[in-house]
Amino acid sequence: MLRKLLMATTLCLAAFPALALDYNLGGIKIQSPWSRATAASAPSGIAYLTIVNNGASDRLVKTSTDVSRTAELHTHLMDGQVMRMRHVPEIEVAGGAETKLAPGGLHVMLIGLKGPLKEGASFPLTLTFERAGTVTVEVQVLGIAAKAPGAASPAPTMDVKHKGH
Ligand SMILES: [Cu+2]
């Protein structure tokens, strides 16, 4: 029974494709840049993306955007029982590997938002790699509680189906 339910959930998720917005920069591919909507008074926002590097090892050294004063590279570290964010000067992007900027880990911190990020909107984010150079991607703003692109808001029909279990 549980197995069936899990399978149904998997199928539902598969029916909602991730935002198919990829950007190529030499051997580097940037997949599905996304962000969360922010409350009106929020001083900062967060952006996530996946970097697939099919070329030589590289480093993400700088990010910038016009929606906030600065865009810093951050990571999360456990400090005892407390999860803290910490600024990192660069992010290693190993060759032949995938580097994820995702909730709970590496992310781009948008500090000093010039206005709230609104669900459904998008904004440009410029990424500079030490070797590959610079690429500007369009970041999709998802819901305020989104955990990943494509899994953000299950369609109502899915809930109806699951009520049968
Ligand atoms: Cu942060």
Assign residue 95 the CATH number of its domain.
Answer: 2.60.40.1890
pLDDT of residue 75: 97
pLDDT of residue 151: 58
pLDDT of residue 152: 45
Helix (H, G, I), strand (E, B) or coil at 12: helix
The answer to whether residue 158 scores a pLDDT higher than 70 is: no
75 CA to middle of ligand 1, Å? Answer: 6
**pLDDT tens per residue across span 57-97:** 999 999 999 999 999 999 998 889 998 999 999 999 999 99
123 CA to middle of ligand 1, Å? Answer: 18
**Is the residue at 85 inside a domain?**
yes
**Is the residue at 49 inside a domain?**
yes
The answer to whether residue 109 scores a pLDDT higher than 50 is: yes
Cα torsion at 43, 130, 54, 142 (round to 10°)? 10
- 39: which residues sit within 8 A by CB, 6+ positions away? 116, 144
pLDDT of residue 21: 76
**Is the residue at 1 inside a domain?**
no
42 CA to middle of ligand 1, Å? Answer: 13
**Is the residue at 111 inside a domain?**
yes
CA distance 155 to 162: 12
pLDDT of residue 20: 53
CA distance 80 to 135: 37
pLDDT-based confidence at residue 149 (cuts at 50, 70, 90): confident
Domain that holds residue 59: 18-141
DSSP state of 96: T
107 CA to middle of ligand 1, Å? Answer: 6
Give, rounded to a whole angstrom, the gap between the first and last alpha carbons of the chain: 8
**Is the residue at 152 inside a domain?**
no
**Is the residue at 106 inside a domain?**
yes
Encoded tokens for 128:
């500079």
Domain tally, the chain: 1
Instruction: Return the number of other C-beta atoms located less than 10 Å from residue 31's C-beta.
Output: 19
Q: What does DSSP say about strands 133-142 and 28-36: parallel, antiparallel, or unpaired?
A: parallel
The answer to whether residue 157 scores a pLDDT higher than 70 is: no
pLDDT of residue 98: 97
97 CA to middle of ligand 1, Å? Answer: 23
52 CA to middle of ligand 1, Å? Answer: 22
Question: Which helix (H) or strand (E) covers residue 124, if one does?
Answer: strand 122-129
**pLDDT tens per residue across span 10-51:** 444 444 444 457 999 999 999 999 999 999 999 999 999 999
**Is the residue at 76 inside a domain?**
yes
61: nearest Cα among 37, 42, 43, 88: 88
Instruction: Return the number of other C-beta atoms located less than 10 Å from residue 45's C-beta.
Output: 25
CB 44, CB 68: distance < 8 Å: yes
pTM: 0.79
